[in-house]
Amino acid sequence: MTLYYRDDAVQVTSEAIHAGGHVVTLADVTYVWHARGPTTLAVRSRVLGRGVLVLLLSLPPLVAVVCVLSLAWAAQDRGNWQLALVVLAGCAVAALALTPFLEAPLGWLDRSYDRGNRVHELWVQHHGREVMLLRTPDALRFGQIYRAVQRAVEQQGERR
């Protein structure tokens, strides 16, 4: 028996698919497909959270740039070029020093895109009936499970 995928709720082996309380033997599966499910609150909140995170990441640097440019412009307008250069150099150094702290929020944003923005459903035709095995808003996990089911069904077809 070959194990193609396993997590807390789903297990795909060369003999059967265990998901959503269903146990489907691969020998009885005639067709596998995926569909888009209805949007859930989790998906909507992920998209909203993504927008808020982008806003929080982009707004402070824009405000800082405007403030620095206005300070430098005011300093050079008064004829104090040295102060303008010191302000610009200090802000450039501060920006470079703060750059590593962007790692965590940018990682959250990246993972949010990996999870996707819609609900995915995995369906199989089993003994002539259409059975939904899985519904998840996590696109990365769904892709792994769907590919494992495809590999298992392909291997089952080669054995026949």
The answer to whether residues 109 and 55 belong to one domain is: yes
The answer to whether residues 99 and 128 belong to one domain is: no
Q: How far apart are CA 61 and CA 140, in angstroms?
A: 31
The answer to whether residues 60 and 123 belong to one domain is: no
What are residue 78's phi and psi, to 5 degrees?
Answer: -85, 0
The answer to whether residues 65 and 98 belong to one domain is: yes
Tokens of 80: 């104090």
The answer to whether residues 33 and 79 belong to one domain is: no
Per the structure, the count of domains in the chain is 2
Q: 16 Cβ partners below 8 Å, 6+ apart?
A: 23, 24, 25, 26
Tokens of 85: 């250069």
Sign of CA dihedral 78, 83, 88, 90: negative
In this prediction, residue 146 carries a pLDDT of 94
Residue pair 57/106 in contact (Cβ under 8 Å)? The answer is yes
pTM: 0.62
The answer to whether residues 95 and 81 belong to one domain is: yes
Task: Order across the sheet with 16-19: list the strands.
Answer: 3-6, 10-13, 16-19, 22-25
The answer to whether residues 50 and 84 belong to one domain is: yes
Domain span at residue 141 reads: 3-39+118-159
In this prediction, residue 159 carries a pLDDT of 67
CA–centroid distance for 10 within its chain: 20
Tell me the pLDDT of the chain (160 aa) as tens digits. Answer: 889 999 999 999 989 999 878 898 888 888 889 888 777 676 667 677 777 777 677 777 777 778 777 777 777 777 777 777 777 788 788 878 877 887 777 777 777 776 777 888 999 998 889 989 888 888 889 999 999 999 998 887 776 6
Q: What is the CATH number of the domain that holds 136?
A: 2.30.29
The amino acid at 4 = Y
In this prediction, residue 145 carries a pLDDT of 94
3-state secondary structure of 160: coil
